[in-house]
Amino acid sequence: MSNISAEKDIKSEIEQCGYSLLRASDLHISDELRQSWLSLTIDYADLPADEYLPGGARYRFRRYGRFRFSPSDGALTRLPHEDYFQRAEINSVTGGIIRKFAPLLDTTFGNRFLHELIRFNFAQFPIEVDAQLREDWEVHAHLIRVTADFRGQGHPTPEGIHRDGAAFVTVHLAELVNARGGEVSIYNDERKLLTAFRLENVLDSYLFDDRKLWHAAEAIFPAAPEHGAIRSILTFDFHFPFVDTRKEIRAKP
């Protein structure tokens, strides 16, 4: 059995509907990889604050990094860190500005579960163009934690209906503590609501074609008001073609 596998035809669902919802119960991960996943989740406790929230709010924390991915052999190469940018027409809140986020930790770049999840995700995409299976892609990996307490809600990133500006995007729930809300909505290109669901168990995931769909996630708030709420995700943006020409740093296996 593969290190990561699923009991559903994700590729067909994305091809037919533009998205696929994958529950953690349908996802099979080897015991060895589960240890790598647990190591990765430790990183969420030390994410720097997102400095680009409306009104100077402080409820979101994040790191991000970039890989070069070769579909032919599954090789992943770490790329130099760079600033993050999204166009205003796909992100109405923080689009159109250059944002500086902290890079992933070296241990995260080398995490085996992270690598295998990128490979698993890519294998689910309905790609029919031969060049996209031969040529390299750029993959952005984001670790994001949103918090909320009695003082206010925490908004997933970015606020409102948006696109991420990639070919395909995958979102995986990493942590959910005392949190209500956070419902995910999927829209077609005319912004008509297609479906809504909530990620409730660690590694509940959804994968989608970002060129065809829009999406949004509701704010979270504490289920028990006397305690804080947390919702953390691991998300990947898959970009084609790969155009980075700067020096690359080989990721550890």
| Higher-scoring residue by pLDDT: 79, 160 | 79
What residues contact residue 9 under an 8 Å CB cut-off, 6+ apart? none
Query: Per-residue pLDDT for 65 more than 50?
Result: yes
> What is the pTM for the complete model shown?
0.91
Bridge partners of 214, per DSSP, are 187
Distance CA(229)–CA(221), nearest Å, equals 6
- The predicted pLDDT at position 251 comes to 53
Query: Per-residue pLDDT for 92 more than 90?
Result: no
- The predicted pLDDT at position 253 comes to 46
Architecture per CATH, domain 4-250, reads as Sandwich (2.60)
Question: What are 235-253's pLDDT values in tens digits?
Answer: 999 999 887 545 444 554 4
- The predicted pLDDT at position 249 comes to 47
Query: Mean pLDDT across the stretch 85-107?
Result: 72
| Higher-scoring residue by pLDDT: 111, 165 | 111
Radius of gyration for the alpha carbons in the chain, expressed in angstroms and rounded: 17
Q: At what angle do helices 112-123 and 31-41 cross, to 10 degrees?
A: 110
- 96: confidence class by pLDDT, cuts 50, 70, 90: low
Query: Mean pLDDT across the stretch 24-45?
Result: 96
DSSP 48-105: PBPTT-GGG---EEEEEEEEEEETTTTEEEE-----EE--TTT-TTTTTSEE--PBPP
Query: Per-residue pLDDT for 5 more than 80?
Result: yes
Distance CA(170)–CA(123), nearest Å, equals 12
The count of other CB atoms within 10 Å of the CB of residue 165 is: 18
- The predicted pLDDT at position 244 comes to 57
Structure tokens at 102: 């902290």
Q: Could you tell me what percent of the chain has a pLDDT over 70?
A: 90
